[in-house]
Amino acid sequence: MADRLLLEDVRFYGRHGLTKAEQAVGAWFSVDAELALDLGPAALSDDLGAAVDYGAVARRLVEIGTSQRVNLIERLAGLMVEALLREFPAQEVRVRVRKLTPPLQGLVGTPAVELVRRR
């Protein structure tokens, strides 16, 4: 499938992590999502009913990221990728989760994971 719906830098604040600091202070997270699906009907019709509403995808990502606490960003990405595959008509979903402000001493850079799942 060559067509892709892309969402970049969907942000939310969460308390995900293993350390007490991560759970108490929390951090900002950024999520990119890529859904492989047929965008032809929407491109031809200019009708939202023929498209996947990217606002609904973004809201679902934020809901997952803020509704329950997890220890690992791998688990967070897994919850997101599985929900998007289950709830939207994509043949493949790619999710990248970045912890933008981890409260960890000496950390340089932005930790991230990326998961890809197919039907």
pLDDT of residue 101: 81
Domain residue extents for the chain: 4-118
**Could you confirm whether 20 is annotated as catalytic?**
no
pTM (predicted TM-score):
0.93
Band of residue 109 on the pLDDT scale cut at 50, 70, 90: confident
Strand 112-118 with 27-36, pairing: unpaired
Specify the DSSP element, H or E, that contains 75: helix 73-87
Q: Is the pLDDT confidence value at 34 over 70?
A: yes
Q: What is the dihedral of CA 49, 54, 60, 61, to 10 degrees?
A: 160
Domain 4-118 indexed as CATH 1.10.287.90: no
- Of 79, 99, 106, 119, catalytic: 99
pLDDT of residue 81: 98
DSSP strand E in 15-89: where?
27-36
Q: What is the pLDDT of residues 48-105, one digit of tens each?
A: 999 999 999 999 999 999 999 999 999 999 999 999 999 999 999 999 999 998 776 7
62 alpha carbon, distance to own chain's centre: 8
pLDDT of residue 83: 98
Looking at residues 20-33, what average pLDDT do you find? 91
Q: Is the pLDDT confidence value at 22 over 90?
A: no
pLDDT of residue 1: 63
